[in-house]
Amino acid sequence: MRWPVALLLSLAVAVACGGEAARPDGGAPPPPSPAGGLSSPVVTPTPRPVAGPPVLETVVEGARFPVALAPSPDGRLFYAELETGQVRVVRDGRLLPEPFAAFRVARPPGYSEHGLLGIALHPDFPRQPYVYVFYTVPDAQGRPQQQRVVRLRAEGDRGVEPLTIVDGLPAGPTCCHNGGRLAFGPDGMLYVSLGDAQAAALAQDPQLPNGKVLRLAPDGSLPPDNPFPGSPAYALG
């Protein structure tokens, strides 16, 4: 049997166009289905949960003016009490009856920001069992004389072998501008914040500690890469 020439040409055109079947109404063929003939899954995003209000939880009852906290990797919480000069320890949710350490601090009459102001743990604590504190040293009459950074070694829950690593830091003569925060940076250095001790004009002098952030090695020595040669100053106020 011989096929008509017109029919052969129609078959050739259909093969060249991919073999898609024409719709009876002459419209475009439907789009191809995915492999296996299955339709693409529809992904519905999971709604994010809405955060509720913050929940307040009492950690310590009877704390006396805590001003600085230092959580330890072993679960203990160390904190400094401004007015008593005591470092206290919370273990397993319980405030231990005996202080970790106690310092005589300046507490002049009236409004005062003097006292035990800062606390920090060595960055490798407790393997390096050192606790650092910053406090205002009083004179014989209890008035602010100077400020000091002391390192203690933790022996259990007691601080022993106090070692002064920075001394003679200025203190505000009457009320305030003392600073006193301690923190270790990612470089392992100890950073000490100092107020201008009520002498704002001295804050821009890199050779004086007033109004500065000081940068010290953990033993109190000067790092050789400090920005001002021979000075602990790291940032000026």
What CATH number does the domain containing 119 carry?
2.120.10.30
63, two tokens: 């704390």
With respect to residue 134, please indicate whether it lies within any of the assigned structural domains.
yes
Residue 22 dihedral angles phi and psi, to the nearest 5°: -80, 145
pLDDT at residue 37, as a whole number: 52
In contact, 184 and 123? CB cutoff 8 Å? yes
**Considering the domain boundaries, does residue 138 fall inside one?**
yes
pLDDT digit string (tens) for the chain, length 237 residues:
444 444 333 434 444 444 444 444 555 555 555 555 555 667 777 777 777 898 888 888 888 899 999 999 999 999 999 999 999 999 999 999 999 999 999 987 778 888 999 999 999 999 999 999 999 999 988 888 899 999 999 999 999 999 999 999 988 888 888 889 999 999 999 999 999 888 888 899 888 888 999 999 999 999 999 999 889 999 988
- Residue partners of 73: CB distance under 8 A and separation at least 6: 125, 126
Classify residue 114: in a domain, yes or no. yes
Residue 79 lies in a domain: yes
Q: Is residue 115 part of a domain?
A: yes
Strand ranges (E), the chain: 66-71, 77-81, 86-91, 94-95, 101-102, 116-121, 130-138, 144-155, 158-169, 179-184, 190-194, 212-216, 233-236
Give the sign of the dihedral formed by CA 208, CA 214, CA 215, CA 218: positive
Domain count for the chain? 1
Give pLDDT, residue 30: 55
pLDDT score of 81: 96
Residue 59 lies in a domain: no
User: How many C-beta neighbours within 10 Å does residue 12 have?
Assistant: 10
C-alpha distances (whole Å) from 18 to each of 8, 12, 21, 22, 63 are 16, 10, 9, 11, 83
- pLDDT value, residue 2: 46
Instruction: Note down the domain range covering 231.
Output: 66-188+217-236
